[in-house]
Amino acid sequence: MRTDEDRVWVGTNQGLALLENGKWKVYTEADGLAHRSVLALDVSPITGDLWVATMSGLNRFSAGKFTTYTQFNSGLANDVIYSVICDGKDVWVATGGGAGMLDTYTGKWAIYTEQNAPMHEPWTYSICAGGGNIYIAAWGGGVIEWNKAKKEFRDYIDPDGEMEIDLFPDDGVVHDITTAVTYDDDILWVATYFGLSRYDGKRWKGYFDHDSGLASNFINYIKANGEVAWMCTDNGLSSFNGETWITYKNLGTDQSGQVIVNGKSPKENILKASSSLSHNFTIGVDFKDNDIWVATSHGLSHGVVVGQTEVKTSKL
């Protein structure tokens, strides 16, 4: 899901949906979409083109038309694309066969796999840019950092090597199975199915549902917005600014919800909310000014950020 000016683009398993001026439009294979299952989206800051990651190739949506990139007609590493970002003129993708970078000026691809990058296997799941680097979430390989100036790789992995527990706290990424990465305000956030990691360039800090306000260790997606990180989990949406956690949950019985506030003290404040997320299984989040959009397994939710992390939500 991505916001673009006054438009909201949503990837679904039945096509690419656009919400504009209060009306929905859906694009499918009949319109040129590579595959109806859309996994990720991004908008070029240079051209305004929409880039669409699907289960069967990469699309560029420009001037109302789709262009498709696959293994067979381009240098794309794999047609299953989990993540796409626009970094200036370059478009980066995380795929089931490695990470790739398309220079949109030259049309040439660069591909990075276990053959030329510090990955244990070529399954890459997420990608982000920030601080002069590209960060790649490699399944079972932690986080791969590509320094754009030096054109060098380095990796961040869980130093204790334990798959079941975080044996030595704050020694690095909490787990090598990483699901998403995001960077803002000089902070790298790393999501896993076993907890959350925060890296300020010098120190790592790990967070888990049993010792913080994180809704669940099972994190599907993460997006930083300034100093606040928003975590999409299988049990609600959590936000964290380095001091205070706020988690939003659907109570499941009516349109009401629950807001759980947890600061530095272990005491929680549990509040009843008149509106809530569509579902607690959250899979995507994006922002436009004070508006927040949350993708769930049962629909899209829209909220308004009224404080540093406080949200009033409504369902669509």
Q: Tens digit of pLDDT for each residue in 165-210?
A: 677 789 899 999 999 999 999 999 999 999 999 999 999 999 999 9
Q: pLDDT at residue 238 above 90?
A: yes
CA proximity to 316, closest of 3, 298, 307, 259: 298
Element (H, E) at 282: strand 282-288
* Mean pLDDT within 222-230: 96
User: pTM for the whole thing?
Assistant: 0.93
CA dist 77 and 103 (Å) reads: 14
- Residues with Cβ within 8 Å of residue 255, at least 6 apart in sequence: 274, 275, 276, 315
Name the band, by pLDDT with cuts 50, 70 and 90, for residue 254.
low
Spell out a b/e string for 59-86, using b for 16 or more CB atoms within 10 Å of the CB, else e.
Answer: bbbeeeebebbeeeebebbbbbbbbbbb
Quote the pLDDT of residue 6. Answer: 87
The whole-chain average pLDDT of the chain stands at: 92
Q: pLDDT at residue 308 above 60?
A: no
Q: Could you give the domains of the chain? A: 2-243+281-294 (2.130.10.10)
Quote the pLDDT of residue 111. Answer: 97
Name the band, by pLDDT with cuts 50, 70 and 90, for residue 316.
very low
**pLDDT, tens digit, 9 for 90 and up, residues 2-51:** 998 889 999 999 999 999 999 999 999 999 999 999 999 999 999 999 99
Quote the pLDDT of residue 315. Answer: 47
pLDDT over 70, % of the chain: 93
Quote the pLDDT of residue 274. Answer: 77
**pLDDT, tens digit, 9 for 90 and up, residues 257-272:** 889 998 765 567 888 8
Quote the pLDDT of residue 178. Answer: 96
Give ∠ CA 52-56-58 in degrees, rounded to 5. 30
- Residues forming beta bridges with residue 187, ordered by sequence position: 184
Quote the pLDDT of residue 160. Answer: 78
